[in-house]
Amino acid sequence: MITGTQQIGILKTNNPNNQNLQINIRSGPSLNSNVKLTKPAGTRVSILEKNQPSGDRYSWYRIRYGDGTNDIGWVREDVINIVPNPNPSESDTRLFFETQSRQVRIYGGEQSYMNVYVKATDSTDLLRATAVRIPKSDNYQPWISYIALKDKNVYQVRFIPLTQTQSGEAELIIGDSNNGRISWQEKGFSIQGYEYNRL
């Protein structure tokens, strides 16, 4: 099982002439260790640890490739791409909140990004999707909004910052970019982030 906070790896072939090679997952961090099974290139795995055995010029990654207690093995660094951690530091997080079904994060410096993680399916709807802040139509509008696009879906995150004069709130809205129909809308809780907390 890959959760929203684990580091992810994607298996790849180390032979540029044969992209269809299966990747060996071994019982230990050595080419002398038994092959437990093989997986195709493109398989997503979670990273448990990194190790460089003495005398080996390669590092090895201990990975989880399934939900079973024994679905753990080792691959060499030349057959895996490590996906950068999608969750930035707290100081870089503009807004983070939970809904009943998802976790939502807006982050970044000059360029904003949006992550949306689905709890029930343990999967990611959006990962480092470019997010655009929608300009306010007037100064009396309390909501701050960001949007991001994926396929035919528009993800809108909107929130009212927490200040001394107003209590904050947040919500996630998912709609169809073709017809504007809303397919999902949920209120947020456990809200935090430097754009949200103005106290």
| pLDDT grade for 189, boundaries at 50, 70 and 90 | very high
Task: Give SS3 for 20.
Answer: coil
Give the span between the Cα atoms of 55 and 77, in whole angstroms.
15
Query: Which tens digit of pLDDT belongs to each residue from 108-160?
Result: 888 899 999 988 887 888 888 999 999 887 777 789 999 999 989 999 999 99
Contact of 29 with 62, CB cutoff 8 Å: yes
Identify the pLDDT of residue 62.
94
Query: Residue 151 corresponds to which amino acid?
Result: D
Quick check: 2 pLDDT over 50?
Answer: no
pLDDT digits (tens, 9 = 90+) for 27-38: 999 999 999 999
Is the Cβ–Cβ distance between 171 and 150 less than 8 Å? Answer: no
pLDDT at 199: 56
**Through-space distance between the first and last CA atoms of the chain, rounded to whole angstroms:** 38
What are the DSSP calls for 27-84, one per residue? Answer: SSSSTTSPEEEEEETT-EEEEEEEE--TT-SS-EEEEE-SSSTT-EEEEEGGGEEEEP
Q: What is the DSSP code (8-state) at residue 138?
A: S
Asked if residue 145 lies in contact with residue 158, where contact means CB atoms within 8 angstroms, the answer is yes
Long-range contacts from 118-125, C-beta under 8 angstroms, 24+ separation? 122/1, 122/2, 122/3, 122/4, 124/4, 124/86, 125/150, 125/155
Question: CB–CB of 23/40 below 8 Å?
Answer: yes
Backbone angles phi, psi at 79, to 5 degrees: -120, 25
pLDDT for res 3:
42
